[in-house]
Structure 1
Amino acid sequence: MRLRAARLAPRDVLRVGAVGLHARRARVVLSALGIAIGIATMVAVVGLSQSSRADLMAQLDRLGTNLLTAEAGTDSMGNETKLPKNVVAMVERIGPVEHATATGDVDARIRRSDVVPEERTAGVTTQAVRPDLLAALNARMGKGVWLDIAGERLPVTVLGSVAAQRLGITEPGEKIMMNDEYVVVVGILEPVELVPNLDRVAMVGFPAAERYFGFDGHPTTVFERSTDASVEDVRAVLARTVNPGGDGPVKVSRPSDALAAKAATDKGLTTLMLGLGAVALLVGGVGVANTMVISVLERRQEIGLRRALGATKGAIRLQFLTESLLLSSLGGLAGAVLGAAATYAFALAQGWIAVVPPWSLAGGFGATLVVGMVAGLYPAIRASRLHPTAALNAT
């Protein structure tokens, strides 16, 4: 009667594989740490990228993607295009346009006070604005009030967030100088995501700019909002509408494209960081392979004894392959938890929407199994090839 080799049950395979890890705890922890770092890096990179992109998309949803701007440019001779004074009314006559407003560049030097030299303007410029600008841009006041119909005729100003910092203005009610005229700061804007150049501007009303600072009344930038479905149609005719004479260039842009481009740029950075995570995972796999090779060398007598008691080559291979998989899985689970925790902590600190895609966790753990399989294959084969007599006589 031919004897058949006994096979270990799955539970026994796991138990035998875990014994080897339990006997070498410090080495196991250090080897698993390399795997954990690689997986944590990959999960965190994917999670933070997705969280950042989700936050950007939330901003776009809140700010709207239907805002277009038309700016006066300069011709080849360096002459600036003059937009008509009634350009807002002209734009509002475009059928799908829901709202239109404008700003104009004002030649006014801004200083904190009269003791500051005139050439030190702190990098703050002046623009004339309409009372409906705040609503058109979905901007919000940080402190104070916005310019109303009365305020746009008075020597008062609203500062962008950066302009207020540069001028040292922390509260409404303080005064600054525009040219040789003192004006009162009645409000400070919160950062304007869609039009960040307004953060460095001091804003006054159109009538006040004409009366106190010699403004000619011609807008330089027009903002309009239309229905989402008609944005491209409006974009096609906006330049000809704001400058019907065609005597100079007009630049039409969509501010939300900058945020969309930022989200696309994040994809490239994510790819780079995933590559770094893969390198860390590879280093961890080398550590696992090294641990398993040393384990085979140290346990030759154990292998010889098991072979003498009837363990087959396949059982020995399965034992060491199981050890490698358990070691990698330990690091993979720890890395997935650390990566998810890091993502949530950083997203919370940044005020983002925390997003950890389930596929990143599953993919990371699957990668650890592949690494464990590859790293443990050679040591397992080497262990199975040890002759029982030679292994028992090893010192």
Structure 2
Amino acid sequence: MSGKFRLTMAQLNPVVGDLAGNRAKALAAHRAGRAAGADFVALPEMFLAGYQPQDLVLKPAFTAHAMAEVRTLAADCAEGPPLGIGLPWAESGRLYNVYAILSGGRVTAIARKHHLPNYNVFDEPRLYASGPISGPFAIGPLRMGTPICEDAWYDDVTEAMAESGAELLMVSNGSPYRRNKYDVRMNHMVSRVVETGLPLVYLNFVGGQDDQVFDGGSFVLNPGGRLAVQLPVFEEVIAQVDFEQGAAGWRALPGRLDLLPEDTELDYQAMVLSLRDYMGKSGFARALLGLSGGVDSALVATIAADALGPENLRCVMLPSEFTSAESLEDAAAVAGALGCRLDSLPIEAGRAAIGATLAPLFKGRAPDVTEENIQSRLRGLMLMALSNKFGEMLLTTGNKS
């Protein structure tokens, strides 16, 4: 027996709540897959709603809108390969995190997430009902199992799918980044491949959403745990993966193998992408920050310049009589190297006015940390005034931010 199967992996960046925009992105991915001769186009977990939608899914109107959008998407994708996409789904008084298969102009199948994570940033049992383990779906020449994210971190869902005839596991994910997360994912997925003897596609989306950032880094494993495809991290990409069927079953052919950066570079890319998406998805194009000449503000300025472009960053030096010449020189050097605007806004007059206003109540008390804190709070006030006046988002430069 022999056969061929082409899968389009759409590692894309959705926006939480932008149902029409996410549908448009999915449709563009489908058209790219159709043009490439794909047999199936896959998008990640909860892509239509964006991830994590959190309590948005508790609004019946939102979930109903998502379900209407997926039916519109199905009609738009009637010509060409089936498409898989995640979304919230309400039925029989329950809400599910599902992976929908769209084919021939309609929603032809639904897989419901079985394992609902309740740790770290996840609180899915509060939002969704646990669905039954789904069997595989016939997609072209093969039968595909579709575990949803956490379902592939345990052996029961994938083994049940394999026992009921799955020939390929297509795992859709909304897995946020943290240091060493890739190794954790890979270890779990290799275990699933070894246990089932099936090839596995791990498709994760990319992008920042509030306090979370998703790194992509999607990959494909063959039985035995051999890596066949590795997509880049922190980048949108639509990639084609070819499978061939032989006597031992389906196997992924070798494809693109992007190198993963080391930990510090991964952390840096996460900060750049999360800032870019936080601002872009919130409607801000420009940012400002206080540039002191120190390491913390220099690093934040560098992240912002890479995320937004130096032309969209304003740096502000807020010197007092205690500011050293070296700090002024270092701040100017950073702004010059980055190519961003640098304004100087001395705070001494304001600090003196506040000191004079407080003097009658402070009479008889020695200067202490109170007077020192006036400087930092005055700087914050002036930076916020600039932010309000010019519509530029203020970035904090504390070393834990």
Task: Tell me the TM-score normalized by structure 2.
Answer: 0.24
Instruction: Determine which structure has greater relative contact order: mean sequence separation of CA pairs < 8 Å that are 6+ residues apart, divided by chain length.
Output: 1
**Is the radius of gyration larger for structure 1 or structure 2?**
1
Task: Tell me the TM-score normalized by structure 1.
Answer: 0.24
Higher helix share: 1
Higher strand share: 2
